[in-house]
Chain A
C-alpha cells in the first residue's frame, strides 16, 4: 500500500472525495447566497433553512405521495422557490429601503420559525431517505472506490453552478439583473419590471439551496436543523471568496471542501474549524476576499 505523508493512499483519496462532495454542497449554497447578496444586497440567513426545506420536502413527498427522486429534484426546488418569492414579497420588500442589517435579522427570524415548526413535527433525530436504485453501487477506480451517487452529486452541482454563473455573467437576462441592481430607477424607466426581477432573483437563489437539499437527502441525515450548522460554514466560504463574487463563491466552495477533507486526514480535531481559520487568514491578507473586487 502506498503511503503519502504517513497516510495510506486509499484513506487520503477517500477523504479527498468526501471533501470534494462537501465542497460541491458549499459551492451550491454559497453560490445562492452570493447571488442574493450580490444582486439584492440581502444577507439571507434563511438560506440554511431553505436547504433544509429542500431535503425535507424530498423525504416527505416520497413518504406521503411516493414522489421519486427525479421528480423531487425539480419539484422540491420549485416549491421552495415559490416559498422564497412569498418571503420576498410579503416580508423582505417591506424593509427594502432600510439598512441591510435588517434583512439579516428578518431572515434569521424566518429561519427560526421554519426550523422550529419542522422540529416540532418531525423531531431532530433525522429522517431516512432511501438511495434511488439506479445509484446503488459504484465503480472501482483502482486507487479508490467511487460510489455512483457521489459522482452524480459532483457532476450535477458543477453543471448547475456553471449554468448559473453563465446566466448571470454572460446572458441578456443576467445583464438586466445586474443593471437592475446598479440603478433600479433607470431600469424601471426602460420598462423593466424591477420588483418582479427582485422577487425572482431571491426565489432563484433559494432554489439553488433547495436543489442542494435534494442532492443531500440520500447521503446526509435529513433533519430540521441540518441547515443551521452548514449555513455558518457557507457564510465563511462566501466571505473567503469575496462577498458578491459569483465565480469566487463556486471556486472557494469546492476549495474549502477539499481543505476540510485534507485537514480531516492529517489533523482531525481541527477539521470543523479550519474553514474559519482560513477565513481569518484571508481577511488579514486580502480584506475583500480572494475574488472580491470592491476596495
Chain B
C-alpha cells in the first residue's frame, strides 16, 4: 500500500468516526427534544419554565465566561433590566402584545450591555470582574430608587397577555411551549456562534489573547460583540422570566444573582454547550428541593459548599467530568 492510500484510509476512518459521533449526537438531541416536549405533562410547567429561563441566562453567561474567558460579575443587571422593562411595558401599555414587550426588554438589555462592554472591555481577568460588578451595582441602586420598579416590594401582576395577539399565554402549557421555543432558538444560536469562525476567534482569545492580537485580530471588537450578545440573551431570559412569574423583583438585580449564574455555569461545566443548562437544572432543583425539606434554612451554606467543592475538585463541571469519563472508558 502506498503512503497516500494509507492516508486516505486514515482519513476515511476519521470521517466514519465523525459520522457515528454525529449520528449519536443527533439521536441524543432527538431524545432530549422529546423529553422537553413531554415534560410539562409530568412536571409542573412553571417549575420547568423557571429552569428554562435560568438555563438561558446561564447559556448567555457561558458564551462570555466559558468561550471568551471573560468573567462578568454583573450579569444580574441584564436579567433584571430585561425583566423590569418587559414588566413595565406590559403592565402599562395594554396595546402591546407579549412578544413586543419581550423584544423591548431584550433591546434595552442589549444597549445596556454595550455600555457595560465599552467601559469594561479593556480590563482583564479579575479587574474585568470587579468593573462589571460595580456597574451592575449602579444599575441595582437605580432600580432601588426608581418608583416604577416598586422598590423593595417588586413589580407585581405583570399580565402574560397573548402571543402575537392570538395565543393565550395565561395557559401554562402555551406559555411553556413558547418559552421552550425561545430557549431552543437561543441555544441553537449560541451553538452556531461557537462553531462559527467568529466563535473560533473567541476561543483563541480565551486561550491566548496576545497571540490573537499578533495574528491581527481586533480583539476588543470581538470581545465587545460577545459581551453584547451575552447581555442580550441574559436580558431575554429576564424578560421571559417576568412574564412567566408575572413579577420582577430586586432579587434579580442583586449581585448574589450574578454569583448564582456563575455557580450554575461552573457546576454544569463551563465552556461546554450543555453544561450551563445542566447546571441551571441542578441549582434550581437543589434550591427547590432544599426549600421543601428540613434543610430549608440551609440553602445558602449548601450552595456555598457546592461552590467550594466545585472550584477545588470539579473545575470542569458535571458535563466536563462526564465527557472525560466517556472518553476514557468508551474510547
Residues of chain A touching chain B, judged by Cβ–Cβ distance below 8 Å, are 43, 91, 94-95, 98-102, 104-106, 108-117, 119-120, 232, 235-236, 238-239, 243, 269-270, 272-273, 276-277, 279-280, 283-284, 287
Q: A232 to B134, Cβ gap below 8 A? A: yes
Given contacts A120-B298, A235-B133, A269-B145, contact A113 B308 (CB under 8 A): yes
Q: How far is the CA of A104 from the CA of B130 in the complex (A)?
A: 10
Q: Which residues of A contact B129 (CB under 8 A)?
A: 43, 101, 104
Q: Judge whether B297 is part of the interface by a CB distance below 8 angstroms.
A: yes
Query: Which residues on the A side are within 8 Å of B304 (C-beta)?
Result: 108-114, 116
Chain A residue contacts of B73, Cβ below 8 A = 104
Interface string of B93-135 (1 = CB under 8 A from A): 0000000000000000000000000011011011101110111
Q: For window 273-309 of chain B, which residues contact chain A by CB distance below 8 Å?
A: 297-308
B141 and A272 contact, CB distance less than 8 A: yes
In the docked arrangement, what's the CA distance between A232 and B126, Å? 14
Chain A, Cβ-Cβ closest to B300: A116
| Interface status of B262 (Cβ within 8 A of chain A) | yes
* Majority-rule SS of A interface residues: helix
Give Cα distance in the complex from A105 to B262, angstroms.
8
**Pairs A-B, 3 closest by C-beta atoms:** A112-B304, A109-B307, A116-B300
A280 and B119 contact, CB distance less than 8 A: yes
Given A106-B311, A232-B137, A287-B122; A239-B301 close (CB under 8 Å): no
Q: Does B255 sit within 8 A of A, measured CB to CB?
A: yes
User: Chain B residues near A116 (CB, 8 Å)?
Assistant: 298-302, 304
Identity of the chain B residue whose Cβ is nearest the Cβ of A112 in the assembled complex: B304
Inter-chain CB contacts under 8 Å: number:
115
Q: When the two chains form their complex, are residues B127 and A105 in contact, meaning their CB atoms are under 8 A apart?
A: no
Closest residue on chain A to residue B255 by CB atoms: A232
Given A105-B262, A287-B123: A280 and B312 interface contact (C-beta under 8 Å): no
User: Are A119 and B300 CB-contacts (below 8 A) given A106-B308, A113-B308?
Assistant: yes
CB proximity of B273 to chain A, nearest CB, Å: 21
* Among candidates A91, A239, A277, A284, residue contacting B130 with C-beta atoms closer than 8 Å: A239
A276-B300 in contact (CB<8A): no
The answer to whether A276 and B311 touch across the interface, beta carbons within 8 angstroms, is no
Q: Report whether B130 and A243 are in contact in the complex, using a CB–CB cutoff of 8 Å.
A: yes
A243 touches B134 (CB 8 A): no
Chain A residues with CB under 8 A of B71: 101, 104
Contacts of A276 in B (CB 8 A): 134-135, 137-138, 141
- A101 and B130 form a contact (CB under 8 A): no
Cα–Cα, bound, A269→B144 (Å): 10
Name the residue on B nearest A272 (C-beta).
Answer: B141
A91 and B125 contacting across the interface, CB-CB below 8 Å: no
- Rounded to whole angstroms, the CA-CA distance of A229 and B280 in the bound complex is 25
Q: Which residues in B have their C-beta under 8 angstroms from that of A104?
A: 71, 73, 126, 129
- On chain A, the residues within 8 Å of B119 by CB distance are 280, 283-284
- A99 pairs with B307, CB closer than 8 A: no
B156 beta carbon closer than 8 Å to chain A: no
A100: B residues at CB distance < 8 A:
125-126
Contact A273 B142 (CB under 8 A): yes
The answer to whether B125 touches A101, judged by C-beta atoms less than 8 angstroms apart, is: yes
A105/B266 in contact, CB under 8 A: yes
In the complex, B150 has a CB within 8 A of chain A: no
Give the distance in Å from the alpha carbon of A91 to the alpha carbon of B312 in the complex. 7
Cross-chain contact A120 with B126 (CB below 8 angstroms): no
Residues of B within 8 A of A91 (CB): 308, 312
> Across the interface, which residues of B come within 8 angstroms of A120, CB to CB?
297-298, 301
CA distance A115 to B303 in the complex (A): 12
B259 interfacial contact with A, CB 8 Å: yes
Sample of 9 A–B contacts (CB below 8 Å): A101-B129, A104-B126, A105-B266, A109-B307, A112-B259, A236-B134, A239-B134, A272-B144, A283-B119
Contacts of A117 in B (CB 8 A): 301
Separation of A167 and B24 alpha carbons in the complex (Å):
63
Residues from chain A with Cβ under 8 Å of B123 in the complex: 283, 287
Contacts of A115 in B (CB 8 A): 300
Choose one: A94, A112, A279; the contact of B312 (CB below 8 Å). A94
With a cutoff of 8 Å between Cβ atoms, the chain A residues found around residue B301 in the complex are: 112-113, 116-117, 120
In the complex the two chains form, what is the Cα distance from A169 to B153 in whole Å? Answer: 49
Q: Give the residues in chain A near B125, CB-CB below 8 Å.
A: 99-101
Q: Which residue of chain A has the shortest Cβ distance to B118 in the bound complex? A: A284
Q: How far is the CA of A102 from the CA of B313 in the complex (A)?
A: 12
Query: How close is A280's CB to chain B, nearest CB, in angstroms?
Result: 6
Given A119-B300, A235-B130: 6 more A-B contacts, CB < 8 Å? A105-B266, A108-B304, A116-B300, A232-B255, A235-B134, A287-B123
Please give, as numbers and ranges, the residues of chain A lying within 8 Å of B312 by CB-CB distance: 91, 94-95, 106
Of A43, A98, A108, A112, chain B has the most CB atoms within 10 Å of the CB of: A112
Contact of A239 among B131, B145, B299, B303 (CB under 8 A): B131
Contacts of A239 in B (CB 8 A): 127, 130-131, 134
Q: Is the CB of B308 within 8 A of A280?
A: no
For the complex, give the distance between the alpha carbons of A192 and B229 in Å.
49
B308 and A110 within 8 A (CB) = yes
On chain B, the residues within 8 Å of A287 by CB distance are 122-123
Assess the B300–A280 pair: CB atoms within 8 A: no
| A280-B134 CB under 8 A given contacts A106-B311, A112-B300 | yes
